[in-house]
Homo-oligomer: A and B are copies of this chain.
Amino acid sequence: MNFHKRIVIIEDDAELRGCYRLIIGSVDRYHFVNAYENCEEAFPHLHKDKPDIILMDINLFSGISGIEGVKYIKSKYPHIEVVMISVHDDAEMVFEALRAGASGYITKSSNYLELIQSLDELVKGGAPMSSKIARLVISNFHSNPNSPLSEREKDVLKLISEGKSYTQIADQLFISKETSKTHIKNIYSKLEVNSKSEAIEMAKSKKYI
């Protein structure tokens, strides 16, 4: 584990900026470099700040959002690890932040110990997350057990979402083209749709596939 990981804060609440500064300053293995009020203020300084880790508030009052901020940072400095700090645990916001490149997501309720533990977790190769966030992320993998679709129909629908044609599905599942068509017709009637795109949209939104 390297010494003196350099930390930069982007957070619009002045009081919280101060808190984070104190907490990080109190531990040898982390070096507080700078704190900024928003992304626009921070970005021109990143080149000389050379942070290893950025703690970023996701709901910034002024300028671009935390999510856009992560995208920018990861595109210019892919090695920087960004941990999002948020009051919300809204699923879509969490997933967007992670897709944008965040390495962790913790809620603002985190106390002194938890913040340091999150940084330690990150440095040892993990991904710091609050309990609820972890559950959200894992639940994202779970499929809906109340799917009206049979296993075979799910197989077929998955292949449709991979852009496969009836013929390709037939070849891959070792069935005839007519059988794929029958499955698809039954999928449409069960989901009450009548096209590939509607079926995919419906199935994904209800987590059937």
Contact = CB atoms under 8 A, between A and B. Distances in A.
Contacts of A125: 131-132, 135
A26 interface: no
Contacts of A174: none
B145 A75 contact: yes
A47 interface: no
A168 interface: yes
A98 interface: yes
A31 interface: no
* Residues of A in contact with B, size category: 35 or more
A95 interface: yes
A116 to B, nearest CB: 15
Interface stretch (A36-44, A56-64, A193-201): A193-201
Contacts of A138: 98, 102-104, 127, 129, 137
A129 to B, nearest CB: 7
Contacts of A163: 160-161, 163, 195-197, 199-201
A139 B137 CA distance: 11
Interface string A78-96: 1000000000000000010
